[in-house]
A and B are shown apart, each in its own frame.
Chain A
Amino acid sequence: MKDPPAGILQGDLQDQKIAGYHSPLGVTRTQSVTFRGVQVQSGFTFDQVDVAYQTLGTLSPRRDNAILVCQALSGTAHVAGLHPDTGRPGWWDFHVGPGKAIDTDKFFVVCSNVLGGCDGTTGPLSPCPETGKPYGMDFPPLTVRDMVEVQAKLIEHLGLSQLFTVIGGSMGGMQALSWAVHFPERVRVCVPIATCVSHNAMQIAFNEIGRRAIMTDPNWNGGNYTPDRRPNHGLAVARMVGHVTYLSEYAMARKFGRALQPPVNAADAEEALFAVESYLHHQGESFVSRFDPNSYLCLTKALDQFDLFEGKPPEEVLRRVKARFLVISFASDWLYPPAQSRELVRLLKRARVAATYINLETLYGHDSFLIQNPEFAKVLGHYLENEYGSGHRKDAAAAA
């Protein structure tokens, strides 16, 4: 087997510091916009919804180069560049930036924190207008479509009538699919990565383990916890389980094997941890410091409830789709296995949607789209470049 390219074992950029990390974008800032009177599918109406978002690159004079990046479960609006306060890179800085797969020299990139999230967009931690206290468990159940409807408001606010591309991995892929189905006129290209049209029993099962860990933490208190008594242990365990499902056996063997983590002081030598244990503890602790437990419950529920077709026949739903598709899966992804992407592609093609499908042999599991991944970057970069170019050629031919 070929050696992995340098850096691929570093993992994703979300919960670890990579020494000397350089982002060509420099410091990037997140903005916020407020929408009034937002109704969600459950029937609940928010008096106000704040949306945190980031834009990178420049909108073309024809306004035809916008790419909406949809975050995965633990993502944020801070997609690329360095955070002004923490100095940490955005979650997709490996693939978004000048000269990268999603090239900010060519494209105008928009990324927002989802409704129900906890990084600036309204979510369970936001104050409820009536009480002034966090919504907590009074926060209404959300759907992936609700997240997308709020993104659509943001896109209108930015003065965009059409998106060149909507792209996302995992939960972001579900959002991208919802865009193509519910806003067919506004999406030219859709790139769902490592995702599915609905969760299977195994995917629901892993999410339920995470939820139970949070809800059985004594500090959860029916969702009414306080900042100094949060269900941190439960959330950390949820993240640890989640993280294992995002990796592959190969990635874990390669990265940790049975290596032992050297103890911080010699007195603890007897309790030396396996490196993988120490890694998971760190992932859990780091996640707890930046994520709200109720938000985790809300978003994982939305994922489990997701059904792209909302009970209708797939062909009927997909017939209205106008976008062209690039569907990417990873052979080593056992959480969102390639068979789910192949089924999506089959349904698209049966509905006569132009869909390109590639199952990359990246060995690092579900996380393969979040890590440094040259094959992935190459395929994505070429596809976007070709689709953007062919759109221009067609427009020129139509004008002639």
Chain B
Amino acid sequence: MHPGIYQCVMEWVPEGARVLDLGTGDGAFLERLVGARHIVAEGVEKNPELVARCIERGLVVHQGNIMEGLDQYGDQTFDYVTLLGTFQELISPVEIVREAFRVGRRVIIAYSNFAHFRVRLQIMLRGRTPVTPSLPQPWYRTTNLHFLSTLDFREFCRTIGVSETRHACFNSRGAVVFLPNLFAEEVVALLESAR
């Protein structure tokens, strides 16, 4: 993932916030976030070997599959729920984002932009399923289930009734401001419930 995304999350999450990180992996980023922002953090990870790595780092971690819901957490337990490496791999993103908003007040989601110009060119000119730095695996090996663009993501937010209050776009050269749906490879967005 683009380092700029981690940087954004570090800036967006205030000191002392309660944060739930979904798909926390080996906990490396969450450990940095705890150290930098003194947050009260918890990770959810399904792979026991990665859960063990999180425990080694001294993180509070829950071994579980976020696809099965977040029933172990009460309503509005967290200030922020982050989904940084897994959004496109979720079978039912609508349900999971709804669950995230049940247990937390704000949700931060990172995703890859499928409308990047290199993706468009590969499909249009070569007639092949795209393989790019942010979509590095061929179709038969990718864990992504969903392919979306920044425009799609905004529509998704409208559909489920949440608003994107901040976002940042990146490609291999750095931050993208001009025509992000064409030039951004990776995007991170801060969502708040429109209610």
Q: Give the interface of A toward B (CB within 8 A).
A: 324, 326, 342, 345-346, 349-350, 352, 354-361, 375, 378-379, 382-383, 386-387, 389-390
Contacts and interface: CB of A to CB of B under 8 A. Distances in A.
Interface string B18-50: 000000000000000000000000100000100
Interface residues of B, number: 19
Contacts of B115: none
B132 interface: no
Contact of B48 (A349, A352, A355, A361): A361
Interface in B75-107: 77
A96 B62 CA distance: 25
B74 A382 contact: no
Given A346-B72, A350-B74, A352-B74, A357 B63 contact: yes
Interface of B: 42, 48, 51-52, 55-64, 71-74, 77
Task: Please name the 6 residue pairs, one residue from A and one from B, whose CB atoms are nearest each other, closest first.
Answer: A386-B58, A346-B72, A349-B72, A382-B56, A358-B51, A357-B62
B48 A359 contact: yes
B72 A358 contact: no
A25 to B, nearest CB: 26
11 contacts: A349-B73, A350-B73, A350-B74, A352-B74, A358-B52, A358-B55, A358-B63, A378-B56, A382-B55, A382-B56, A390-B58
Contacts of A383: 55
Nearest to A383: B55
B56 A359 contact: no
A357 B71 CA distance: 14
A349 B55 contact: no
Contacts of B48: 358-361, 375
A360 B48 CA distance: 6
Contact of A355 (B52, B58, B59, B60): B60
A115 B77 CA distance: 40
A62 to B, nearest CB: 20
A126 to B, nearest CB: 41
A218 to B, nearest CB: 49
Contacts of A359: 48, 63
User: Which of B59, B61, B62, B63 counts the most chain A CB atoms within 10 A?
Assistant: B63
Nearest to B73: A349
B43 to A, nearest CB: 9
B102 to A, nearest CB: 13
Nearest to B71: A346
A345 B72 contact: yes
Contacts of B59: 356
Given A356-B62, A357-B62, A357-B64, A349 B74 contact: yes
A357 B60 CA distance: 8
A314 to B, nearest CB: 12
Contacts of B74: 349-350, 352
Contacts of A345: 62, 72
A334 B47 CA distance: 20
Contacts of A379: 52, 55
Nearest to A385: B58
